[in-house]
Amino acid sequence: MRPHHHLHNGPYKTIADVEFATAGWVDWYNHRRLHGSLGMVSPDEFEAAYYAALNPEPLPA
């Protein structure tokens, strides 16, 4: 995957182009971007770990 794939060269020609670019940026921002304040993990990985820690699975008896 190219870094900064959410960037676009040139003007958008249609609303669909804008929607596609916006969806790509949101996907990158939430799923691929490594965040320094979160320990260099993506926001969705951090959130999953947070909720997993709140609701640990019970150990088998």
Q: What residues does each domain of the chain span?
A: 15-54
pLDDT tens-digit profile of 7-35?
Answer: 667 789 999 999 999 999 999 998 999 99
Annotate 8-23 with b (16+ C-beta within 10 A) or e (fewer). Answer: eeeeeeeeeeeeeeee
pLDDT at residue number 5: 54
| Per-residue pLDDT tens digits for 47-58 | 999 999 998 777
With 0.85 as the threshold, say if the pTM is over it: no
**Residue 27: per-residue pLDDT:** 92
Give the pair of three-digit tokens for residue 2: 């190219």
Contact yes or no for 44/30 (Cβ under 8 A): yes
Q: How confident is the model at residue 2 (pLDDT cuts 50, 70, 90)?
A: very low
